[in-house]
């Protein structure tokens, strides 16, 4: 069966790399993909949010399954578009329908869902123009710092953490008044939770689920977790502090009630759920839900899946995931993201990447790369993720770092301290 993967980052390269190994998979197409995905399958120059073009690609390439990488097409309703279309109706989409993607697309929806189902999360309240006069009194019930979140998708820039109540008031006001356009007509203000974060992933057919490997992501650009937030500078899997007892708590307190909650609300969830969690003194709390896999977490998580990922996706499509096998590699996988100098601020693109053939015992998952003639050049802030295996975290990191040093492009930067806190 031919598969179409939507997206263009390292996560989609990891998905393409893994699905291409399945004996049951036919040809792999990636839209729009990057220079790396082009080595695992065939890139199609299509915008994943242009559903009419996606439909045409499905027909032209006799696609039998669509795997959605990023959140935007899910929140935009691509799965619903398939279900409502006579020609597309029977083609499975791995990724939830719009009503379920709201778990990621609306922080207010996610917090209300968590609260309805008694799932541990930070105390919160949602504000909009009509109740904005209550913001200050709510802030006074919280201890600083204050966590202020725009309700909708804001390209990862919608969350700020502020020490002073005046700043929190000003930020709330700015968001309510359109700082993020429609993404911010509502604002969620939360209690600040102190702990260490991790990302937990499941794949579900809406009835049962399989727990995928967890990972820790490094979001800040600078070493020691300093500087601006990025899409993610590296990841480690497994997470040493997420032992058996902790993961049991995650299952019982968070994953099971999430699946049950979706069922109770009549939402048929088919795809991945990414639980952004924080470990507060041994107890897990939900910081956020995402309706997809993480990036760069996927570049550490997917290489640890030994079983056929296509078989699991077929289980999602057919609703018999329970009968499918998931075998996980016990070894560590670490990934280090090579980024363009200046990222996440201004950076240049179009620099030639050299040394791609010099790496060994690692996988280079491309993110912001493209082909230019017979060269591979940079085309984004996050350029590629260097993933390596090891029996210990340090062994895996040594592989990621020695291979990172084999690749080069002008102004290349990467964090040298991934895993420093574990």
Residue 119 binding ligand AMP, by CB under 6 A? no
Residue 41 binding ligand GLY, by CB under 6 A? no
Residue 33 binding ligand GLY, by CB under 6 A? no
Q: What's the rounded Cα separation, in Å, for the pair 352 and 10?
A: 18
Q: What's the rounded Cα separation, in Å, for the pair 302 and 146?
A: 35
What SS3 class is residue 42?
strand
Residue 196 binding ligand AMP, by CB under 6 A? no
The kind and range of the H/E element at 4 are strand 2-7
| Residue with smaller CB distance to ligand GLY, 295 or 308 | 295
| Residue with smaller CB distance to ligand GLY, 152 or 294 | 294
Q: In this chain, which of 197, 268, 329, 417 binds ligand AMP, going by CB under 6 A? A: 197
Q: What's the rounded Cα separation, in Å, for the pair 57 and 44?
A: 8
Residue 297 touches which of ligand AMP, ligand GLY, none (Cβ within 5-8 Å per kind):
ligand GLY
| Residue with smaller CB distance to ligand GLY, 237 or 290 | 290
Give the chain's end-to-end CA distance (angstroms, integer).
41
Residue 381 binding ligand GLY, by CB under 6 A? no
Residue 299 binding ligand AMP, by CB under 6 A? no
Query: Buried b / exposed e across 115-125, counting CB within 10 Å, b at 16+?
Result: eebebbbbebb
Residue 232 touches which of ligand GLY, ligand AMP, none (Cβ within 5-8 Å per kind):
ligand GLY
Q: What's the rounded Cα separation, in Å, for the pair 219 and 287?
A: 14
Residue 295 touches which of ligand GLY, ligand AMP, none (Cβ within 5-8 Å per kind):
ligand GLY
Q: Which range in 246-254, 293-301, 360-368, 369-377 contacts ligand GLY by CB under 6 A?
A: 293-301
Q: How many CB atoms lie within 10 A of CB 184?
A: 22
Write the interaction track for ligand GLY spanning residues 223-262; mark x where CB under 6 A is met and - where it is not: ---------x------------------------------
226-229 and 220-222 beta bridge pairing: antiparallel
The kind and range of the H/E element at 386 are strand 382-390
CA-to-CA dists, residue 26 to 29, 62, 249, angstroms: 10, 10, 39
Residue 217 binding ligand GLY, by CB under 6 A? yes
CA-to-CA dists, residue 74 to 95, 180, 376, angstroms: 7, 20, 30
Contact 194, 279 (CB under 8 A): no
What SS3 class is residue 79?
helix
Q: What's the rounded Cα separation, in Å, for the pair 365 and 13?
A: 6
Contact 221, 228 (CB under 8 A): yes
Residue 290 touches which of ligand AMP, ligand GLY, none (Cβ within 5-8 Å per kind):
ligand GLY
Residue 75 binding ligand AMP, by CB under 6 A? no
Tokens of 251: 């299952």
Q: In this chain, which of 294, 344, 399, 419 binds ligand GLY, going by CB under 6 A? A: 294
Residue 294 touches which of ligand AMP, ligand GLY, none (Cβ within 5-8 Å per kind):
ligand GLY
Write the interaction track for ligand AMP spanning residues 157-186; mark x where CB under 6 A is met and - where it is not: --x---------------------------
Residue 104 touches which of ligand AMP, ligand GLY, none (Cβ within 5-8 Å per kind):
none
Note the residues at the interface with ligand GLY (CB under 6 A). 217, 232, 290, 294-295, 297
Note the residues at the interface with ligand AMP (CB under 6 A). 122, 147, 149, 159, 190-193, 197, 276, 287-288
């Amino acid at each position: 069966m031919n598969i179409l993967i939507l997206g263009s980052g390292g996560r989609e390269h990891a998905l393409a790399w893994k699905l291409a190994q399945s004996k049951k998979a036919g040809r792999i197409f990636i839209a729009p993909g990057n220079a790396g995905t082009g080595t695992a399958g065939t890139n199609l120059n299509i915008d994943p949010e242009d559903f009419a073009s996606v439909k045409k690609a499905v027909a032209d390439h006799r696609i039998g399954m669509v795997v959605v990488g990023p959140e935007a097409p899910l929140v935009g309703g691509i799965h619903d578009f398939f279900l409502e279309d006579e020609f597309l109706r029977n083609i499975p989409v791995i990724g939830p329908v719009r009503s379920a993607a709201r778990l990621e697309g609306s922080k207010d929806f996610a917090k209300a869902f968590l609260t309805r189902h008694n799932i541990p999360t930070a105390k919160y309240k949602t504000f909009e123009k009509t109740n904005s006069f209550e913001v200050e009194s709510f802030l006074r019930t919280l201890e600083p710092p204050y966590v202020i979140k725009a309700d909708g998708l804001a390209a990862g820039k919608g969350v700020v953490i502020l020490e002073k109540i005046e700043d929190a008031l000003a930020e709330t006001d700015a968001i309510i008044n359109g700082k993020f356009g429609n993404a911010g007509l509502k604002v969620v203000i939360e209690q600040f939770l102190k702990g260490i974060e991790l990302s937990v992933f499941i794949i579900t057919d809406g009835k049962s689920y399989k727990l995928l490997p967890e990972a820790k992501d490094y979001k800040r650009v600078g070493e020691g977790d300093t500087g601006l937030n990025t899409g993610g500078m590296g990841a480690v899997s497994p997470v040493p502090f997420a032992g058996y007892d902790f993961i049991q708590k995650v299952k019982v307190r968070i994953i099971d009630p999430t699946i049950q909650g979706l069922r109770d609300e009549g939402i048929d969830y088919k795809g991945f759920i990414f639980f952004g969690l924080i470990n507060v003194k041994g107890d897990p709390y939900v910081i956020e839900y995402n309706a997809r896999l993480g990036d760069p977490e996927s570049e550490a998580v997917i290489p640890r899946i030994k079983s056929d990922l296509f078989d699991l996706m077929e289980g999602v499509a057919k609703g018999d995931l329970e009968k499918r096998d998931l075998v996980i590699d016990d070894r560590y996988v670490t990934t280090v993201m090579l980024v363009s100098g200046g990222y996440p601020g201004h950076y240049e693109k179009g620099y030639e990447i050299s040394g791609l053939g010099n790496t060994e015992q690692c996988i280079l998952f491309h993110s912001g790369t493209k082909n230019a003639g017979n060269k591979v050049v940079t085309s984004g802030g996050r350029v590629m993720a260097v993933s390596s295996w090891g029996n210990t975290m340090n062994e895996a990191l040594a592989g990621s770092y020695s291979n990172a040093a084999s690749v080069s492009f002008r102004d290349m930067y990467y964090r040298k301290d991934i895993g420093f806190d574990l």
